[in-house]
Chain A
Amino acid sequence: MHPIRKKRLTIVLFLVVGVSVAVALTTYALRQNINLFYDPSQIAAGEAPVDVRIRAGGMVEEASVIRDPESLKVEFKVTDFSSSVLVEYTGILPDLFAEGQGVVAMGRMDGRGRFVADQVLAKHDETYMPPEVNDALEKAAENRARQAETSASY
């Protein structure tokens, strides 16, 4: 083979190998690390998978925060005003965490309807609403409007 062609072939092979390694790693890693978002209504309806890392979000229900007196364990309910889900978390809550605020939590469903969070995110200013939470609230409100008789569930 012509030396220049041979060299080009090496370069092309290099690129192909590099790109395919990257693609393989990427797809493998992506498959393991995608965290889907579920709102409280979906979780209440049992749509969220058990023991898979997901994100959940909504408003922190008023008067639902209960602290464990001995440790940093805390429980609270997250609601979209149609359904609510119990969240359990151990650790420091963000500065802007408060009842009536929107939060997003990362964690797993434990199979008994509780969401065990390993991370709780509240955003940087109090007027801000996480877009997922906003969507979830709107969706829940629409559903309630549609089935007016069941709106008493909250």
Chain B
Amino acid sequence: MYPELGQMALILALLLAALLSVVPLVGSVTGREQLQAFARPLTAGLFVFVALAFALLTHAFMTDDFSVAYVANNSNSLLPWYFKFSAVWGGHEGSLVLWILMLAGWALAVAVFSKQLPTVMVAQVLSVMGMVTVGFLLFTVLTSNPFDRILPNIPQDGADLNPLLQDFGLIIHPPMLYMGYVGFSVAFAFAIAALINGRLDAAWARWSRPWTTAAWAFLSLGIALGSWWAYYELGWGGWWFWDPVENASLLPWLSGTALIHSLAVTEKRGVFKSWTVLLAIVTFSLSLLGTFLVRSGVLTSVHSFASDPERGTFLLALLAITIVSSLALYAFRAPVVHSRARYAGLSREVFLLTNNVLLVASTLLVLVGTLYPLVLDYLDMGRLSIGEPFFNLTFSPLAVAAGLLMGAGIFSRWKNTDGGWLGRKLLWPLAISTVFTAAVMVVYGEFKPWAFAGTFSASWIVVATFWDIWEKSASRKGRVHGLRRQTRSYYGMVMGHLGMAIVMAGATIASNYGLERDVRMSPGDQAEIGGGYQAVFTEIGNRRGANFTAEYGRFEILDADGRLVSVQYPEKRQYLVQRSVMTEAGIDGGLFRDVFIAVGERVSDDAWAIRLQYKPLVRWLWLGSIFMAIGGFLAISDRRYRLKIKAEKPAKQSAVDGTDASRTPAGVTS
């Protein structure tokens, strides 16, 4: 009976979402406040029913109700309870329910934390979110009902969760990623609402900003978790493959990063409005595109489940409707907004504009690389794939350029920056980063141009950022007072940029100085890993887990002096239900290097293929992402977002400007 209740809850949620997408919007157009006031209660109702459906689906998993087809396909009575829980979103239908739950959750959050917003705005924003929810609920109810039953022949036991997904990383990776994807729907809804009522101003940007930053922070974490999971579970030590599914999550991240920067300009200076709105639309469209690519079965990967052409068509239609209607609205309404603010050729505005150009260029690049093979295949013009070198070759220069820009941009001022002054400011960071980068090259023992560029760029950001903090925190009342005086959004930016620098350093060093060897080893053999480490294969054995049997190797990792660093037990698991084989690596992790051992196939009676890897700074990739996310959340907690907006002040005196000692008069000097 519970599954039927779940289905009813989904249908009721669909009805509420339909009401939500119509009633408050009509109210806002006709100016009837009674209708607008329906927005919040309808949102709450929508959330309650979606949450109920999710809870009932979870209940079906927890109680091993294999009469539900989705449970039977994705769970098994042998699974530990936490994997039964994460199996709720281990397949297509359940992950959609999770997606919708997030969407309803974000809408509820908007309804609750929007006390300072005008009622019309709230009504429109929630209506737009209602429309998005209708699309996804219709998709679920019509093509992917998670509560379908297998009756009367109920299976004895489930087909089990894909062993790849039986991992802690998967418990948290999809929810984080979805929080990000779906969170951009709020930015999208704000953009659409602004287009409808023509209110595209600094206040709009200020309302939209924390939501966008929150979504971005979640997405950063989600992508990092995915990369971490691939690293230890899937990829034999690789952390980014430029796989279409990874690209699908990177695309909204790149344009979302552009969006949060362009929103900053719109909030502080009231310019780039049309561009910001367009970016908000593009970012959410890319989130939908990602969902389409991953869920429709046009791609084949661990993320795409049983494909069904009907689903792909539905998602494509949903994507097309969203893009076409929002761009049409944009075309009709965007020219209305124009700005008077002026800025010069070397202002912070222009730095951020260049940042946007770089980010959009890299978005296009990844988009082309991802879609090109799909389009050619669809047109029957041949099957091809675009290799990692394409992305590495084109993405790296853009990343380095963005890093250089970031370091210089932090000193720039709104409206205008004196070029000579900026040049003098950058001298010391330039000198320090060059010396530091040279030192890094010496430590790793080899000069490589890309390693130099990446490391330089990363240290340039770090030095410039700390230089800026040092100058801004100068105060007559002492350094501590000066540090305290800075706003949280400033520290958010600092954390975000430092995070980016850490990711760049990690990516550069790990890919340029990492070592990887596949060797043939028998118990008793010793082999060199790299970085001065040795691996001794001492024994091989068998063990049994809850739902698998495993063959494990025991490896001692020795350092250059022959001292024991750690003992690792990498294993090869045979999962009992699906009869599939999984490799579990043994990783000795550290802040400055990982030593990675994985057991491959048995190549003869007493020998195994063993992969040995030395990965310097690889953890920095995920550490940096955590920094970025913390930066995002810090920025959201800034005081000014919690203030009631009474009178619109020209947002000149922003905290990010810091001291205005050297600000030159406004004007166009280029």
Tell me the bound Cα distance from A15 to B360 in angstroms.
Answer: 10
**A111: chain B residues within 8 A (beta carbon):** none
Residue of A18, A25, A36, A53 near B394 (CB, 8 A) is A25
Any chain A CB within 8 A of the CB of B48?
Answer: no
Residue of B164, B384, B572, B670 near A7 (CB, 8 A) is B670
Tell me the bound Cα distance from A18 to B358 in angstroms.
Answer: 7
Residue of B300, B384, B520, B581 near A95 (CB, 8 A) is B581
Number of A residues near B (Cβ < 8 Å) is: 47
Nearest chain B residue, comparing its CB with the CB of A36: B384
Nearest chain B residue, comparing its CB with the CB of A132: B383
* B82 → chain A closest CB, angstroms: 22
Q: Which of B372-410 contact A (CB under 8 A)?
A: 372, 382-387, 389-390, 393-394, 397-398
**B668: chain A residues within 8 A (beta carbon):** 3, 6-7
Task: Flag if A11 contacts B353 (CB, 8 Å).
Answer: yes
Consensus secondary structure, chain A interface: mixed
**A106: chain B residues within 8 A (beta carbon):** 387
Task: Flag if B601 contacts A26 (CB, 8 Å).
Answer: no
* B112 → chain A closest CB, angstroms: 39
Partner-contacting stretch, out of A64-72, A75-83, A146-154: A64-72
Partner-contacting stretch, out of B94-102, B491-499, B603-611, B619-627: B603-611
Residue of B353, B360, B361, B382 near A21 (CB, 8 A) is B361
Q: Which of A89-104 contact B (CB under 8 A)?
A: 90-93, 95-97
Known: A92-B600, A92-B601, A125-B162. A14 touches B357 (CB 8 A): yes
Any chain B CB within 8 A of the CB of A113?
Answer: no
Consensus secondary structure, chain B interface: mixed
Report, as a range, how many residues of chain B touch the other chain.
35 or more
* A35 → chain B closest CB, angstroms: 5
**B387: chain A residues within 8 A (beta carbon):** 33, 35, 53, 106
Task: Flag if B393 contacts A95 (CB, 8 Å).
Answer: no
Q: Which residues of A contact B (CB under 8 A)?
A: 3-4, 6-7, 10-11, 14-15, 18-19, 21-22, 25-26, 29-30, 32-37, 53, 55, 67, 69-72, 74, 90-93, 95-97, 106, 123-126, 128, 130-132, 135
- Pairs A–B under 8 Å by Cβ, sample size 26: A4-B342, A6-B668, A7-B343, A10-B345, A10-B670, A14-B354, A14-B357, A29-B394, A30-B372, A32-B393, A33-B387, A33-B390, A33-B393, A35-B387, A37-B383, A72-B609, A74-B603, A90-B518, A92-B601, A95-B581, A96-B581, A124-B164, A126-B579, A126-B580, A128-B300, A130-B300
Q: Which residues of B contact A (CB under 8 A)?
A: 162, 164, 236, 300-302, 342-343, 345, 350, 353-354, 357-358, 360-361, 364-365, 368-369, 372, 382-387, 389-390, 393-394, 397-398, 518-520, 572, 578-583, 598, 600-601, 603-604, 609, 611, 668, 670
